[in-house]
Amino acid sequence: QVQLMESGGGSVQAGGSLRLSCTASGYYGGYCIGWFRQALDKERERVATIWTLGSLAYYADSVKGRFTISQDTYNSTRYLQMNNLKPEDTAIYYCAASTDGYCYRDLSRYEPNYWGRGTQVTVSS
């Protein structure tokens, strides 16, 4: 099993930055890990993924050029650096892992089987 814990959410004004962290435990090996988000009254959206044993990352079009996913493999921690935040980025952000497959350029194929509890990000205009 993979246990995931997020941190780093908060409130920021438009144009600001936040960095989310996700610490994983309980599973050792290669798997796809990334971030989803869900805004109030909206469907959950895939944001970004990265393979735990590599560096290739994939992003939703809505965040490309603004968000960067990275990792510290020694500490089993992944980060989502979010720059130039917009009010529409307001959501609960979930760290999620898929041990059943790989990361795909087509994020719609990303189907996690482990989830963190989420952290709130609020961007005010």
Query: Residue 54 has what pLDDT?
Result: 87
Could you tell me where the beta strands, DSSP code E, fall in the chain? 3-7, 10-13, 18-25, 32-38, 45-51, 57-59, 67-72, 77-82, 91-98, 114-115, 119-124
Query: Residue 77 has what pLDDT?
Result: 95
pLDDT band for position 51 (cuts 50, 70, 90): very high
Q: And the tokens for 120?
A: 């709130």
Answer yes or no: is pLDDT of 101 > 80. no
Q: And the tokens for 47?
A: 């944001």
Q: Which pLDDT tens digit goes with each residue over 22-46? A: 999 988 788 999 999 999 999 999 9
pLDDT band for position 69 (cuts 50, 70, 90): very high
Query: Residue 97 has what pLDDT?
Result: 96
| Per-residue CA distances from 84 to 20, 51, 108 (Å) | 14, 25, 25
Query: Residue 5 has what pLDDT?
Result: 95
Query: Residue 13 has what pLDDT?
Result: 98
* Contact (CB, 8 A) for 113 and 98: yes
Answer yes or no: is pLDDT of 3 > 80. yes
> What is the distance between the alpha carbons of residues 47 and 25, in angstroms, rounded to a whole number?
22
Residue 67 CA, distance from chain mean position: 10
Provide, rounded to the nearest whole percent, the portion of the chain with pLDDT above 70: 100
Query: Residue 40 has what pLDDT?
Result: 94
Query: Residue 4 has what pLDDT?
Result: 96
Q: Who contacts 77 (Cβ-Cβ below 8 Å, separation ≥6)?
A: 21, 22, 23, 24, 71
> What is the distance between the alpha carbons of residues 35 and 125, in angstroms, rounded to a whole number?
23
